Amino acid sequence: MRYETSALSDGVAFNEGTSLLVSGPSTGVQEQVYDLLAERTDSAGTAILISTDRGAPEVVRSFEDRDAFDAGRVAFIDCTGRDGPEDEQGAPVRRLGSPGDLTGMSLEFAKLVDRFEDAGRGDRVRVGLVSVSTLLMYTDVRTAFRFLHVFTSRIRSGGLFGIFAMDPGMHDQKTVNTVRAVFDCEARVDDGGEADLRGSGYTVG
C-alpha cells in the first residue's frame, strides 16, 4: 500500500512510513499540505492535522473547500491556544495551549491514532503539521530536531504518511538545513506554487 497523490505533480506515490517536508513561502506551502491531506478520501484513508496557526473552524473550512471534509475520517489538534468545543462539525478536536507543548501534542496524536485504529482505520493515516516554522518560535532548534526525529520515527513504524510545512524564509540557513535533514524527502515550492520534489521514499509516474 502506498500514498498516492497528484497534488505535487501527477502520479507521485509515497511509500508507507515516509515523512515529507513541504518548504516554501508560508501561504503556498500551507495550501499544498492541505491538498495532500485532502486526497486521503480516495480510499479508506484518514487524516490528522496538527495546526499551529489556523483554528479548528478555519481548518474545517479548508477541508470543505476541497470537498474533503468527512467528520469520521479527519481529526485535528488545535495548538493555537484558542478555546472551543471538543469537536468541529462532528470531527474530533484536541486543544493545546501552545505549539510549544510537544508532550501534549504527541499525547493527543497518539490518542487520535489509537482512535482511528479502534475504528479499523488506523493504517492509512496522513499526518500534517502546519507548521514547523511556528514550532520553531516556541522551542529551540535542538529540541525541535529531536522531537521531529522521534515523530518521523513513529510515522515510519506506523506506516503512516507525514507531511510537514516550513517556510525557510523565516529561519537562518543553518536551522533550515538542520531541520530538513530529519525528513525522507522535500518538496520545494516556489512563489508560483510549483513543487520540486527530491529525496527518497517515493516514486514518480
Partner 1 sequence: MGSEEPTVLVVEDEPPLIEIYARWLEADHEVRTAQNGDEALEQVDEEVDVALLDRLMPGMSGDEVLAEIRDRAPGCRVAMVTAVEPDFDIIEMGFDDYLTKPVEKETLLETVERLLTRSDYAGLEQELYALVSKRSALQSAKSTREIAESDEYAELEARIEELEAELDAALPDMESGEFVAMVRDIETNADEEPTMPEGDVPDPFEDEADDAGDEDGENETGGSTAGGGDR
Interface with partner 1 (CB under 8 A): 102-103, 105-107, 110-111, 113-114, 139-143, 145-147, 149-151, 153-154, 156-157, 172-178, 181
Indicate the residue among 10 and 198 with the shorter CB distance to partner 1: 198
Indicate the residue among 12 and 179 with the shorter CB distance to partner 1: 179
- Half-sphere exposure of residue 94: CA atoms within 13 angstroms, side-chain side: 21
User: What's the min distance (Å) between Cβ of 189 and partner 1?
Assistant: 21
User: What's the min distance (Å) between Cβ of 105 and partner 1?
Assistant: 8
34 and 62 in contact (C-beta within 8 Å)?
Answer: yes
User: What's the min distance (Å) between Cβ of 100 and partner 1?
Assistant: 9
- Helix runs in the chain, H state only: 26-38, 56-65, 102-118, 132-138, 141-158, 173-180
Label the pairing between strands 74-78 and 46-51.
Answer: parallel
Tell me how crowded residue 135 is: count the other CB atoms within 10 A of its CB: 24
Indicate the residue among 144 and 189 with the shorter CB distance to partner 1: 144
User: What's the min distance (Å) between Cβ of 57 and partner 1?
Assistant: 27
Indicate the residue among 57 and 158 with the shorter CB distance to partner 1: 158
All cell numbers assigned to 175: 536551522
